[in-house]
Amino acid sequence: VFNFSAGPAALPESVLREVQDEMLCLPGAGASLLEISHRDKLFVDILHDAQDTLRSLLGIGDDYSVMFMQGGATLQFSAIAANLLRGSGKRAEYLLTGSWGKKAIAEAKKEGDAVAIYDSKATNYDRLPTAGDYTVSDDAAYLYYCSNETIQGVQFAEEPACPASVPLVSDASSDFLCRPLPVDKYGLLYACAQKNAGPAGVTVVVMRKDLIERADPNIPGYLHYKNHDENDSEWNTPPTFAIYVLGKVARWLRDDIGGLAAMEKINREKSDSLYKIIDDSNGFYRGHAQPQCRSLMNVTFNLPSDELTAKFIAEASKQRLAALKGHRSVGGIRASIYNAMPRAGVETLGQFMTDFAAANG
């Protein structure tokens, strides 16, 4: 089955096979990884290797901390505001370009003054701001945005404009590792793993070290980035299995794919092929995202009616194309084509779309 789920999503087959091989007995351990202590040197080496591989893939400098946390991307909505907003006397500014940004600002408001300086709600989050659509205050606590809104399928092609004095914060959950990223433009970026980076259970936080010191020490301990940084992601028991798989996915990207530029090229080919079918369908398929902000990862589109959408999903599943139903707020179809979705999966879906439009258009 080709699985187009928005997450948890497909993992590289070679990684799954390695995990299967090592499940009963981790080389050198005499036990399964699931059975060894997080303080065991074997696991600590695995954790460091995962951090180092991410550092080399993304070119992360020593002035940034790479932390592995639990609580999903959702906990970061609160953690970011607790560390960088609470007690700062400043206001945090948000670009709202989809569902996840909205959820993030709702949590930030519990910690302090958080305002949306851009919101594309009026057009059901089908677009992104361009220069002049918003202004960031020079003394904002941070500027927050979501680089790829998974539900609407809108993705920033590059970082939004932000004054040098303001830390840029990104929810990169659904496009992390899909292309090279200029990490040094960010104060903090984070991603839950269960789309491009591994299984559910671990969230990667990349944070400029000088910002780690800003938090009020009285915030809840687990939210306090300083605890995770100082203890090398072992302040408490980390999600050992998820980190172990994440390290393997990062190695697959680096060694088998050839790095993030090579991955981006493949992702562009895959997504372009589906968008072309949408554009060539004489209006049978209507893309949700405006063409200039289409996502490489989540291809969202509508059909002429709910009946045809239901028929599309039912017939697709007979051809082993699974999890294509769009989120209820957008309707239609969402094909999530993360890094591990093979070209063959996208080609099979593309052929199915072409045939379906010919038969039903």
63, 103, 185, 195: the active-site residue: 195
Q: Which residues contact 253 (CB under 8 A, 6 or more apart)?
A: 57, 177, 259, 260, 263, 339
Asked, as a colleague might, if the bond just before 8 is cis with ω within 30 of 0, I would say yes
**Segment interacting with ligand PLP, rule: CB under 6 A, options 18-26, 66-74, 313-321, 338-346:** 66-74
Beta-ladder partners of 321: 2
236 is in an annotated binding site: yes
Give the residue carrying structure tokens 């187009």: 4
100, 126, 252, 325: the active-site residue: 100
Dihedrals phi, psi of 338, to nearest 5 degrees: -70, 180
Helix (H) or strand (E) holding 248: helix 240-251
Nearest residue to ligand PLP, by Cβ distance, number only: 72
Binds ligand PLP (CB under 6 A): choice among 8, 12, 72, 180:
72
Residue 276 among the catalytic residues:
no
Binds ligand PLP (CB under 6 A): choice among 33, 50, 58, 146:
146
Asked if 100 interacts with ligand PLP (CB under 6 A), we say yes
Restricted to residues 183-242, the positions that interact with ligand PLP (CB under 6 A) are 192
Q: Kindly tell me which of 7 and 238 has the beta carbon lying closer to ligand PLP.
A: 7
Q: Kindly tell me which of 111 and 277 has the beta carbon lying closer to ligand PLP.
A: 111
Asked if 150 interacts with ligand PLP (CB under 6 A), we say yes
Closest CA to 238 of 22, 41, 83, 37: 37
Burial class of residue 158, CB neighbours in 10 A (0-12, 13-18, 19+): exposed
Residue 195 among the catalytic residues:
yes
Give the residue carrying structure tokens 């020490």: 217
Residue positions in the annotated binding site for L-glutamate? Answer: 39
Q: Which residues bind ligand PLP (CB under 6 A)?
A: 7, 72-74, 100, 146, 150, 171, 173-174, 192
Catalytic residue numbers read 100, 171, 195
